[in-house]
Structure 1
Amino acid sequence: MEGSIFTKIIRGDIPCHKIYEDEKTFAFLDIHPVQEGMTLVVTKTPAETVLDLGDEDYAALWSAVRVVAQRLREVYADRRRIAIQVEGLDVPHVHVKLFPIDTGEQFRSAPDMSAEPDHQQLARVAEKLRIDG
């Protein structure tokens, strides 16, 4: 099975700006962020929704979300909240989006998917956010 775009990113077939990785999860910057620092946390085990995950993968996902959210809170200490959004409509692979916000409008903003990703800026952000371990 070829897998989703996230499976290809995890395998290294598609480059990304990785923030964090452990045995069961992988976190990387969204190339079309709603806010600077917008990060996707995905499971290495393919599943369409969080409800399709086994207990270990489910727990690992939320543990990784917490680790990444804490790092976002450290780096973006001037922001009021770290938004957490569970989605899966566009890519049928469990993923949680995290991004620093100050207002509800920022949470509901839509990214410009037609814009060319600024990989230099994404690399700078990834360097600030990277979690070793």
Structure 2
Amino acid sequence: MKYSEWNSLSDEERKNTNWHKHPHIRTATIFTIAFSLAVIIIILGISKNSTVHINRKPTKTEAYNMARNFVKDRLKQPEKAVFANTPETSLIDTATGVYNITSWVKIENGSGKMEKSVWEVKMQYTEGDWAEKNSWKLISVNVN
């Protein structure tokens, strides 16, 4: 039924006519629902990505946290190690993504005393989530 024919119907005839016989109304409803679902999916996808650490270079603090993980891998008793809260020095080459982090850690020696050791880690960020080890290329680790 065309819209012009719908206008020519009496009130009684309009009541008796089922709305499914109006294809424009049904088509518009289907497209409205599909569009609404698409918008909801896009918004949920964007909000879900807000917690991922990609598409930016790591900060000095983030690189320090990853360097501590590389140092822990070299220690005999990493669970007893006490790291500094911040790095002593950190040199960052943003062009190549090379991070050179220096700090200290207190580790337990053979006699059970805590002694302070200086460590240096040189690593390169290779893209991806900075919090994952496979996003980094370890160049060198020195613990004195």
Shared fold (TM-score greater than 0.5)? no
Higher helix share: 2
Higher strand share: 2
Normalising by structure 1, we get a TM-score of 0.25
Normalising by structure 2, we get a TM-score of 0.24
Q: Which structure is higher in RCO with an 8 Å CA cutoff and minimum separation 6?
A: 1
The structure having more radius of gyration, on CA atoms, is 2
